[in-house]
Amino acid sequence: MQSNQSAFDALDICCRIIAKKMDSTAIEEWRVSDYNRLSSQLGKQTKVYLSVNTLKRLFGQLKTPQRYFPQKATRDALAQFIGYRDWQEFELVNSVQPIEAKPEPLIAQPEEEIAPKAPKKNRRKYIYAGIVAFLLLVLIGGFFILKSVQPASDTELICENPFGNVPHTAVFKLKSKLPHIGNEEFKIDFMDEALQTPISGKKEIAKFFRNPGVVYATLLYHDKPIDTISVYMQTKGWVANSGNDTSRAFPIAGLKALNPKNIYVSKEQLDSAGLATNKPFLVGFSNIKPSNISGDNFSFTCRVFSEQSRPGTQCVETTVIILGEKHRHLLTLNRSNCVAFSQYKFSETRVVGAEQFLGALAFDPTNGGDIEIRVVNKKASVMLNGKKVLATSYKKSIGKVMGIKILFSGIGKAVSPKLQDLSTKEVF
């Protein structure tokens, strides 16, 4: 595990690489507009939006009593912004190694001081003693390794109320075969839906979720995932909500059901919800409910419309998310000049436009565009306006379909979305 100093050294290296990527002046000369530009680009690429003050603290330009070190979700976003999978990979590639002490030079002993060779019988005793000592070390080491692994293998995460409406307060706790798990290093990672939180023993953790959808809560032991459960914020049909960043959400029209054949909200409805439409914002349409439809064998079709670019927004995205019990599928589309921000994720298979050119996924639905996603036995394909543009596969099942989300940068419209099981023909 890294020391505090090496952790901050890694953060400094990351900040310097980000500043270089922004191709701007020295950090000390940055203005508010530079931080706003970074916040916008970071949000578009990673879906994590950081305020100007948070960025200033990261870059050491806003002095605090103690050096600011961001939470894991923020560190992962910073690493992804410069081309890494997550913060752990960034630390491995950019690790700051301590300087090793040079060994003392060996000084030869005078010949008369060299001990005579031991008789063969004595040497045999030394060999046997060494073997016994080695076996004891192996047994002791194995004991401590087993002791450190046992809490992880015998502990799982449970949620006492995994099904709720919006908003929802979910309660989490540990379940273990061990009589006492004390203050072991367990944490719950809620991805970008809530802060990572330590948990131990019989302690209960309550988390507030304000957005419709599925939250995948992962139990970490010594920062390694050992269990994942899901929490469902259900809706009654298609509903709309919006926000300027990941920390605030604005229910639109009281989360009342919208017309499934013409899913749309107006600027007046956004204003009534309290959303500042003079800043970049997202509008999300969600339909969350249990189903028996396989997330590994289905077809999804929808016609979408997006608005023209608005002030402060250069890239207008359209995102479709299929939420399963265990994992999710995600497709983010952009116009040809912004495909660097496009990405797709089918269960564990993920490709982002910043790491691999996704020109085939260029998509401009200003005047309407057709999206079709088809998954057959964990083999996924995407068709845009009737043309096949992507074929990929994955290994981990996402389970049954539990919801659909369609997100737009700015105001968008979805017409007659349809998701159907390819085997049973059940329609979501």
pLDDT tens, residue by residue, 297-307 = 999 999 999 98
pLDDT tens, residue by residue, 46-100 = 888 888 888 888 888 877 777 778 888 888 889 888 888 888 888 887 764 433 3
Q: How far apart are CA 60 and CA 35, in angstroms?
A: 13
Length of the chain: 428
Q: Provide the CA 287 distance to its chain's centre, in angstroms.
A: 22
Q: Indicate the average pLDDT of the chain.
A: 82
Instruction: Answer for the pair 51, 40: CB distance below 8 angstroms, yes or no.
Output: no
Q: Give pLDDT, residue 102.
A: 37
Residue 324 has pLDDT above 80, yes or no: yes
Residue 255 gets the label, from left (phi > 0), alpha (psi -120 to 50) or beta, of left
Which residues are CB-contacts of 276 (< 8 A; sequence separation ≥ 6)?
244
> Considering Cα of 327, then 298, then 365, then 258, what sign does the dihedral take?
negative
pLDDT tens, residue by residue, 349-400 = 999 998 899 999 999 999 999 999 999 999 999 999 999 999 999 999 999 9
Instruction: Answer for the pair 327, 345: CB distance below 8 angstroms, yes or no.
Output: no
Rg (CA), the chain: 27
- Neighbour count for residue 306 (Cβ, 10 Å): 23
Q: How far apart are CA 302 and CA 118, in angstroms?
A: 85
Cis ω on the peptide bond leading into residue 98 (within 30° of 0)? no
Largest CA distance in the chain: 99
Strand partners, 413: 264, 305
In one letter, which amino acid is 254? G
Residue 319 has pLDDT above 90, yes or no: yes
Instruction: Answer for the pair 124, 131: CB distance below 8 angstroms, yes or no.
Output: no
What structural domains and CATH numbers belong to the chain?
4-93 (no CATH), 155-233 (2.60.40), 239-421 (2.60.120.200)
